[in-house]
Amino acid sequence: MIRLLASLMLVSGLAHASDPLTIDVHRDPNCGCCASWIEHLEENGFTVNDHLEKDMRSFKQETGVPAELASCHTAVIDGRFIEGHVSATDILAMRDKPDIIGLAVPGMPVGSPGMEMGDRQDAYKVIAVEEDGSQEVFNHYP
């Protein structure tokens, strides 16, 4: 019985390790829109590990987020960064592009996931950072 339990735990452990939708979100404890963005991810099937940070600026530097692309929260999935209010759809699309080291929605545009304010919709771009450090437009809204 003990052996059976142990093998069951091993199997579920493996399943968890390969769960493609686990994401680590790092945020300031006082950030409300960060919490709303986490809800957006969870509604779209992500499992979120929520990390409260004292110094987001240092965390962004350590994670390799270019300063000019900074937003509020910084997430990490598959060893790649997600900066700011990037949609779940764009995160999933990034997974098909191995050369991208991260995606960013700089600032906090109104109408992005977690930044909803009625019908207001700022135009904004999702920026991809490539392995060589170059940046390109990955997607844009509307």
Binding residues for Cu ion (CB under 5 A) = 33, 72, 108
Least separation in angstroms between residue 108's CB and Cu ion is 4
Shortest Cβ 19–Cu ion spacing (Å): 25
Nearer residue to Cu ion within complex by CB, 74 or 94: 74
Contact criterion met (CB below 8 Å) for 71 and 34: no
CB-nearer residue toward Cu ion: 108 or 128? 108
Nearer to Cu ion, 74 or 128 (CB): 74
State residue 138 phi and psi, 5-degree precision.
-90, -35
Q: Are 85 and 108 in contact (CB under 8 A)?
A: yes
Select from 120, 141, 128, 11 the least CA-distant residue to 69.
128
Residue placing its CB nearer to Cu ion in the complex, 3 or 54: 54
SS3 121: coil
Give the contacts of 8 (CB within 8 A, at least 6 positions apart): none
Of 68, 66, 58, 90, give the one whose Cα is nearest residue 77. Answer: 90
Q: How far is the CB of 39 from Cu ion (least distance, A)?
A: 12
CB of 106 to Cu ion, least distance (A): 11
Shorter beta-carbon distance to Cu ion: residue 33 or 65 = 33
Residue for token pair 């699309």: 93
- In angstroms, give the least distance from the CB of 27 to Cu ion: 9
